[in-house]
């Protein structure tokens, strides 16, 4: 490891020079720097989603720090949902290919059913097209207007009732090769497919929620009257490094379901 710090060369704040007029570099504790190094390895794909990362003692040896310092770094990565700790087994790179993770991004729950074990959503892909990014889509995805993007539209149904209409935009380059067939033949979460097929892991997302009336298109696909109130959920998802990687606009029927949010 060329970048491994040596004991005689600890990474210290204020090291090196900086432009006059700029603020002095903030103090950065060792464990934060270790966290940064582990993060770099995650981004670089040194350990893939589902993989076990080296043990705390191994990492402590690698970075020449104490186990406690590595521990604190991993603690933060765990609360960021980037890794998962399993006592007695090890620490693993988080993945969307797990049942209990599904509802971290899909927050629409049935009003009644105590358990959400009323089956998974039935999915129907409407189309998957190659387009040029509009100004708005480009801005949000960090592209330039006219850049290649993929657009996917699909409907999710629960118990036969069409409930969610989604329009998804993906940057063309990282998702080269994604086709309707790939999507249609896949079972399991779409974000798991992104991980396994394109090496793109969604890490966090930001949603803007509004109430809107169904237009003719949405009304038809969701089997409601035109003007029927729907939840509009616009989600921008980010991969490592705060890079936006997916723009998604969902229209949710909330007749018998609701969007659940916990404030704390």
Among 2, 22, 86, 211, binds DNA (CB under 7 A): 86
Among 16, 19, 22, 89, binds DNA (CB under 7 A): 89
211 binds, among DNA, its own copies, none (CB under 5 to 8 A by kind): its own copies
By the rule CB under 7 A, 87 interacts with DNA: yes
Give the nearest distance from C-beta 145 to its own copies in angstroms.
Answer: 20
Count of chain residues binding DNA (CB under 7 A): 25
Give the nearest distance from C-beta 84 to DNA in angstroms.
Answer: 9
The structure tokens listed for 169 are 């935009």
Among 4, 43, 66, 173, binds DNA (CB under 7 A): 66
55 binds, among its own copies, DNA, none (CB under 5 to 8 A by kind): DNA
The structure tokens listed for 262 are 């916990």
- DSSP secondary structure letter of residue 70: H
End-to-end alpha-carbon separation of the chain, Å? 41
Q: CB-wise, 32 or 151, nearer to DNA?
A: 32
Give the nearest distance from C-beta 103 to its own copies in angstroms.
Answer: 11
Using H for helix, E for strand and C for coil, what is the string for 104-155? HCCCEEECCCCCCCCCCCEEEEEEEEEEECCHHHHHHHCCCCCCEEEEEEEE
Stretch that binds DNA, among 59-67, 188-196, 208-216, 240-248 (CB under 7 A): 59-67
208 binds, among its own copies, DNA, none (CB under 5 to 8 A by kind): its own copies
- Residue 128: CA count within 13 A, CB half-sphere: 14
Stretch that binds DNA, among 60-68, 177-185, 235-243, 244-252 (CB under 7 A): 60-68
Sites of contact with its own copies (CB under 8 A): 79-81, 104-105, 107, 111, 203-213, 227, 229-232, 234-235, 252, 254, 258-264
Q: CB-wise, 6 or 112, nearer to DNA?
A: 6
Residue 134: CB atoms within 10 A of its CB come to: 13
What separation in angstroms does the CA of 181 have from each of 151, 155, 201, 229, 255? 14, 16, 21, 32, 32
Among 57, 109, 135, 212, binds DNA (CB under 7 A): 57
Taking the CA atoms of the chain, what radius of gyration do you get in angstroms? 22
H/E stretch holding 31: helix 30-43
For residue 258, give the nearest of 112, 108, 118, 104 by alpha carbon.
Answer: 108
Among 38, 49, 69, 156, binds DNA (CB under 7 A): 69
- Residue 180: CA count within 13 A, CB half-sphere: 11
Stretch that binds DNA, among 61-69, 145-153, 227-235, 244-252 (CB under 7 A): 61-69
Residue 246: CB atoms within 10 A of its CB come to: 25
Binding stretches for DNA (CB under 7 A): 13, 27, 29-32, 53, 55-58, 65-69, 71-72, 85-91
């Amino acid at each position: 490891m060329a970048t491994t710090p040596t004991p005689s060369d600890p990474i210290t704040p204020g090291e090196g020079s900086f432009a006059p007029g700029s603020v002095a570099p903030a103090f950065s504790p060792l464990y934060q720097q270790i966290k940064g190094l582990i993060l770099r390895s995650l981004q670089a794909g040194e350990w893939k989603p589902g993989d076990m990362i080296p043990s705390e003692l191994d990492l402590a040896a690698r970075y020449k720090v104490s186990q406690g310092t590595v521990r604190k770094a991993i603690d933060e990565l765990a609360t960021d949902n980037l890794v998962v700790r399993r006592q007695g087994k090890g620490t693993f790179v988080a993945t969307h290919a797990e049942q209990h993770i599904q509802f971290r991004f899909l927050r629409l729950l049935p009003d009644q059913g105590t358990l959400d074990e009323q089956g998974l959503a039935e999915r129907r892909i409407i189309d998957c097209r190659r387009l040029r990014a509009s100004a708005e889509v480009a801005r949000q995805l960090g592209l330039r207007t006219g850049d290649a993007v993929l657009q996917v539209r699909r409907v999710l149904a629960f118990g036969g009732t069409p409930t969610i209409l989604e329009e998804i935009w993906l940057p063309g380059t990282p998702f080269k090769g994604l086709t309707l067939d790939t999507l249609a033949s896949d079972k399991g979460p779409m974000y798991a497919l992104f991980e396994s097929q394109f090496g793109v892991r969604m890490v966090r997302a930001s949603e803007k929620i509004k109430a809107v009336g169904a237009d003719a298109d949405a009304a038809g696909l969701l089997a409601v009257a035109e003007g029927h109130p729907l939840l509009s959920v616009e989600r921008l998802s980010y991969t490592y490094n705060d890079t936006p990687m997916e723009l998604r606009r969902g229209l949710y029927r909330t007749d018998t379901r609701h969007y659940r949010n916990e404030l704390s």
